[in-house]
Amino acid sequence: GDSVTQMEGPVTLSEEAFLTINCTYTATGYPSLFWYVQYPGEGLQLLLKATKADDKGSNKGFEATYRKETTSFHLEKGSVQVSDSAVYFCALPSQGAQKLVFGQGTRLTINP
């Protein structure tokens, strides 16, 4: 079935470091891909999305490019801030079903 695999966390970085959180997927066809973020004490919210191959989603300085060749959707940010500390989830729609399948989440901590 359709699935998402994220890099295991937790990830700890210093402020202004470069961030990559890996996400690979298994799916039938070329579904839309999503990154959701869960800040401490808050509900999950959509961070960015890409709807077709080679699309780049971006928001709040984060970017992710839909790579069908490598079935990947890695999340990147050039210079992280303490406020980026959160749990990040990669997700895709389940084929034929009206639901999102999420990865296991990656906890990111940014130290000042």
Partner 1 sequence: GAGVSQSPSNKVTEKGKDVELRCDPISGHTALYWYRQSLGQGLEFLIYFQGNSAPDKSGLPSDRFSAERTGGSVSTLTIQRTQQEDSAVYLCASSPMGWFDSPLHFGNGTRLTVT
Answer for the pair 6, 22: CB distance below 8 angstroms, yes or no: yes
Q: For residue 26, state whether it binds partner 1 (rule: CB under 8 A).
A: no
Rounded CA gap, 87 and 81, in Å?
Answer: 14
Pick from 46, 54, 68, 109 the residue near partner 1 by CB under 8 A: 46
Single-letter code of the amino acid located at 7 = M
12 three-state secondary structure: strand
Q: For residue 105, state whether it binds partner 1 (rule: CB under 8 A).
A: yes
According to DSSP, the β-strands at 19-21 and 23-26 are unpaired
Q: For residue 102, state whether it binds partner 1 (rule: CB under 8 A).
A: yes
C-beta of 66: minimal distance to partner 1 in Å? 16
Instruction: Using CB under 8 A, count the residues that bind partner 1.
Output: 23
Interacting residues with partner 1 (CB under 8 A): 4, 32, 36, 38, 41-46, 49, 89, 93-94, 97-105
